[in-house]
Amino acid sequence: MAIQKHISLVLQLVIVALVFNRANGSSLKLGFYQNTCPGAEAIVMKTTANYIYQSPSLAASLLRLHFHDCFVRGCDGSVLLNSTTSNQAEKDAPPNLSLKGFEVIDAAKAAVEATCPRVVSCADILALVARDAIHLINGPFWPVPLGRRDGRVSIALESRSLPSPFANITTLKANFASKGLNVKDLVVLSGAHTVGVSHCSTIATRLYNFTGQGDTDPSLDPKYVPLLKSICLPNDKNTTLAMDPGSSQSFDEDYYKVVLKKRGLFQSDAALLNDKLASLYVKLYPSLMGTNSLKIFKIRWLKWVKLGF
């Protein structure tokens, strides 16, 4: 049952991620490189494993890297491009300065290039690495349609469209709606916060100066605040803490239970309870996991693949 729960959650994340691939047209398909580079996926998996076994926490970073790529211009690898003297790229935009895992993508690309030069796109490698990284920390394995084309345009200002951890529910819904995503998609993708850590600086305002009066965010469980303050002192920019305490390296549904307890780390987590529909999904999500929901979401996923997403 635990495995089914994990698969159901990831399938939903994959379903939503496929929406971001519209720019790639109908070229996405399973086994895209079967003839041109048949060993590509195995090479990427092996390279990713070399990194994840040494540093399991990288899995969450790689999933986040893939999400940040997809939310701007679709899953085209544009977040991997470097800035030039005449252009500041996405990588150097404020929301992306804390991204990690670029070295894994570079290593996987180099390994693939050594076997199949100029065949496999960086965008596809990023999608595979994110999937493989989650699988390597005992998460599920899901099929990744391939055939993405690498983007050649990367503009830092466009990264403003990325959902902010400080956003309220109105802003979050607008962010996702601009990508053709609904409230359910917002809740599903927020579930990715079940893995990984964040810096104390991200929650400093919630703990010490929420309204500018030296107060604490009232949406936080008051019994949880003392613990957070003991970990995150004022002006602490270096300490990290788990986004899903006790389960930060397990890709599961515990995140929603944390949110319901009003212990979500970010303002954007707490914001999910400020919308009737979003709150309903947060409450129902764990109980909906299982065989039936797995079949439903698999059907949706296959439908979107057929449409070329």
Cβ neighbours of residue 160 under 8 Å, at least 6 residues apart?
93, 95
Tell me: is residue 57 an annotated ligand-binding position: no
Task: Kindly give the pairing relationship between strand 197-199 and strand 240-242.
Answer: antiparallel
The verdict on whether residue 193 carries a ligand-binding annotation is yes
Annotated binding residue at 222? no
Residue 6 assigned to a binding site: no
The helix (H) or strand (E) run that includes residue 240 is: strand 240-242
The 3-state DSSP class for residue 195 equals strand
Taking alpha carbons only, the member of 248, 242, 240, 246 closest to residue 195 is 248
Catalytic residues: 68
Tell me whether residue 103 is annotated as binding.
no
CA distances from 80 to 87, 104, 106, 281, 307 (A): 14, 11, 9, 33, 27
Quick one: which of 282, 283, 289, 249 has its CA closest to 268?
282
> According to the annotation, is 135 in a ligand binding site?
no
Comparing C-alpha atoms, which of 108, 117, 140, 152 is closest to residue 4?
A: 140
Q: Which H/E stretch holds residue 52?
A: helix 40-52
CA dihedral for 13, 16, 18, 21, sign (positive or negative): negative
Task: Please indicate if the annotation marks 90 as binding a ligand.
Answer: yes
Q: Is 69 annotated as a binding residue?
A: yes
Check whether 132 is labelled as a binding-site residue: no
Q: Is 268 annotated as a binding residue?
A: no
- Residue 221 is assigned to a ligand binding site: no
- What residues are paired with 199 via a beta bridge? 240
User: Would you list which residues are annotated within the binding site for heme b?
Assistant: 193
User: Would you list which residues are annotated within the binding site?
Assistant: 69, 72, 74, 76, 78, 90, 163, 193-194, 244, 252
User: Would you list which residues are annotated within the binding site for substrate?
Assistant: 163
